[in-house]
Amino acid sequence: MHHVAASGFISVFLIGLLGGAHCIGMCGGIVGALSATQPGQVARSAWPRQIAYNLGRILSYGLIGTLVGALGSASLLFNHVLPVQMVLYVGANLLLVAMGIYLMGFTRALAVLERSGQWLWRRVQPRTRRFLPVRSWRQALPVGFLWGFLPCGMTYSVLSLALVSGSAWRGGALMLAFGAGTLPNLLLAGLLLARYRDIVRARLFRLGAGLIVAGFGVYGLLHAEQLGGMLWAGICEI
């Protein structure tokens, strides 16, 4: 059982890691700005700002995942009336397939999903202005936390998995694992932006990453009857 749960966390970590091109497209501008040095500063001064920004961002993922996981676990209470558990599980894996296709560059289908979160972002984004421009890690931390609410198809895809995780703590842990997977991409993008962006946006890289992410979704769909039924027992398999 513990092995099965661990595989779910490893899967979402890899999804975050493989979605490098998407992460840089969404957050590349802000992480690049965090690396800009002020007069009299040296380049290494960007590290505390980058780390604080990403810590805040990952913490917000964990909070959102906890709330979504709690919501999902509450919905499972109605499973004796409707197959809520299985419907959520299948929907989550369909979103993973769509995310993989999106990473391969064949469709903008997830852009519709991202637009659905714009209403919240319009309320959150103005709160970031009080911390800009970012000159220290103390400003970068809240900016990162607020930036975690940026509408992102990849984040929403993993949130759908948090929804079927079975509990608040598993939903939060899944999103923390996902955030940890995105960390190398955004740290490298912030400090080596132009060169690293070229690598992760290469056609071959995007194709391989998209195939792997879509593969997670296809695997989940093929085993939906077996794995979806485990959710009530509290097993997180992706």
State the burial class of residue 78 (Cβ atoms within 10 Å of its Cβ: 0-12, 13-18, 19+): exposed
Q: How far apart are CA 163 and CA 214, in angstroms?
A: 19
Cα Rg for the chain, rounded, in angstroms? 18
- Tens digit of each residue's pLDDT (9 = 90 or more) over 174-186: 999 999 998 887 7
- Give the range among 63-77, 125-139, 217-231 with minimum mean pLDDT: 217-231
pLDDT at 235: 39
Q: How far apart are CA 238 and CA 236, in angstroms?
A: 7
**Percent of the chain scoring above 70 in pLDDT:** 67
Look up the pTM and report it: 0.79
CA within 13 Å, CB half, 2: 0
Q: Residue 67: is its pLDDT beyond 90?
A: yes
